[in-house]
């Protein structure tokens, strides 16, 4: 299920599934550019990750969570949208 906006993910402490193991302590939904309908641009997140050595499925993983921490400090009334550009090799 898509979550729109910035979401803090509390530690669950439950085995075998701990949401922070896969998504870190926060995730940010990356809105598709206006009018974009291709699946590559839909449902992507910037998130942390505690699981070592694996990839994510269509998301951007930021293991250090430095960008996520900065985004969580923003006032959504002053900064309702943040433009981003993702480059691939």
Q: Is 47 exposed, middle or buried (0-12, 13-18, 19+ CB in 10 A)?
A: buried
Average pLDDT over residues 72-87: 82
Q: Does residue 79 lie within any of the structural domains?
A: no
Q: Does residue 25 lie within any of the structural domains?
A: yes
Specify whether the CB–CB gap between 60 and 30 falls below 8 A.
yes
Q: Give the pLDDT score at 80.
A: 81
**CB count in 10 Å sphere of residue 27:** 25
Chain centre to alpha carbon of residue 48: 7
| Overall domain count for the chain | 1
Q: Does residue 37 lie within any of the structural domains?
A: yes
Average pLDDT over residues 62-89: 83
pLDDT per position as a tens digit, 13-40: 665 678 888 888 998 888 777 788 887 7
pTM of the model: 0.71
Question: Backbone phi, then psi, for 63, in 5-degree steps?
Answer: -60, -35
Q: Does residue 84 lie within any of the structural domains?
A: no
Q: Give the pLDDT score at 3.
A: 64
pLDDT per position as a tens digit, 4-19: 788 888 887 665 678 8
Q: Is the pLDDT of residue 68 over 80?
A: yes
Q: In terms of residue numbers, what domain contains 51?
A: 6-73
Q: Does residue 44 lie within any of the structural domains?
A: yes
């Amino acid at each position: 299920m898509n979550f729109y906006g910035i979401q803090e993910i509390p530690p669950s402490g439950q085995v075998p599934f701990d949401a922070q193991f896969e998504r870190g302590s926060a995730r940010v939904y990356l809105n598709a550019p206006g009018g974009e309908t291709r699946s590559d641009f839909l449902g992507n997140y910037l998130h942390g990750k505690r699981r070592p050595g694996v990839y994510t499925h269509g998301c951007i993983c930021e293991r250090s969570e430095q960008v996520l921490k900065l985004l969580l400090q923003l006032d959504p009334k002053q900064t309702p949208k943040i433009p981003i550009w993702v480059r691939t090799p």
